[in-house]
Amino acid sequence: MKTLDAQPFSFKFDLKSTALIMIDMQRDFIEPGGFGEMLGNDVSLLRSAIAPCKAVLDAARRSGLLVIHTREGHRPDLADLHPAKRTRGGKTFIGTDGPMGRILVRGEKGHDFIPELYPIEGEPILDKPGKGAFYETDLHLILEANGIRSLILCGVTTEVCVNTTAREANDRGYEVLVVEDAVASYFPEFHRVALEMIRAQGAIVGWVARSAAVSSALAG
């Protein structure tokens, strides 16, 4: 068993039953000209998570952890896009044209991962039509097939896709650790409060730790 310094108390995990999930590190959210910036957001706030994500990802790969990458996006025909989601975003909608192709549509440049965190051979990629990584995907099946009981979460955004995935995982009985500086939000206050919600009341949803502590524990 490994132990790392976390909040609200130490997080214990077994390498053989732990997976890293890298959530939605996509060009549409993180790069200039993508969906996030088109909505009026400062993407530099999300880009601050790239280096910590890379540190945890490299440590996970060296330690042999199962690494899973998720992307939020939809079929080119948008048949999997709920009407309630289709009309969100002000004047910028999913499926409309952007600088990197149709926004959040599978196969478009903006839907793809940023180069810094691109998956390597053997790392499963999950294309999800919703915010949580378990929604309409085979994530739970993959985790069960590999004997996974603990999850380390990195990615964006803290209060939406990361928080939703953490809560979904908690409800399914997984032990969840969110890497504080390897997740990010366009809204710093949302980021802070989302992390507080996860670790509140004795890790009611999960644990929170810094990337340096996670990387050190994986390497130790």
Provide the CA 210 distance to its chain's centre, in angstroms. Answer: 15
Q: How much is the pLDDT for 86?
A: 84
User: 2-219 — its CATH code?
Assistant: 3.40.50.850
pLDDT (average), residues 1-11: 97
For all residues of the chain together, what is the average pLDDT?
96
Q: Is the pLDDT of residue 197 over 80?
A: yes
Exposure b/e, 108-144, CB count within 10 A at least 16 = b: bbbbbbbeebebeeebbebbbbbbbbbeebebeeebe
List, in order, residues 6 or more apart from 217 with CB less than 8 Å away. 2, 3, 4
Residue 137 one-letter amino acid:
T
Is 24 an active-site residue? yes
Provide the pLDDT confidence category of residue 97 given band limits of 50, 70 and 90.
very high
Active-site residue, from 24, 28, 131, 181: 24
The helix (H) or strand (E) run that includes residue 128 is: strand 125-128
As separate numbers, helices (DSSP H) first and strands (DSSP E) second, the chain gives: 9, 10
Provide the pLDDT confidence category of residue 90 given band limits of 50, 70 and 90.
low
Provide the pLDDT confidence category of residue 91 given band limits of 50, 70 and 90.
low
In this structure, the chain runs to a length of: 220
**Nearest C-alpha neighbor of 166 from the set 129, 138, 194, 202:** 194
pTM (2 d.p.): 0.97
Q: How much is the pLDDT for 220?
A: 80
Is 128 an active-site residue? yes
pLDDT (average), residues 5-15: 98
Q: Is the pLDDT of residue 104 over 70?
A: yes
For strands 101-102 and 97-98, give the pairing: antiparallel
Q: Where are the domains of the chain?
A: 2-219
Active-site residue, from 28, 53, 154, 161: 161
Q: Is the pLDDT of residue 215 over 70?
A: yes
pLDDT (average), residues 173-184: 98
Q: How much is the pLDDT for 87?
A: 79
Q: How much is the pLDDT for 142?
A: 98
Q: How much is the pLDDT for 180?
A: 98
CB 176, CB 153: distance < 8 Å: yes
Here the tokens at position 15 are 């390498």
Burial (CB < 10 A; 0-12, 13-18, 19+), residue 49, is buried
Residues 131-177: tens digit of each pLDDT = 999 999 999 999 999 999 999 999 999 999 999 999 999 999 999 99
Active-site residue, from 28, 53, 128, 131: 128
CA distance 207 to 196: 10
Percent with pLDDT over 70 in the chain:
99
CA distance 215 to 220: 9
Q: How much is the pLDDT for 89?
A: 64
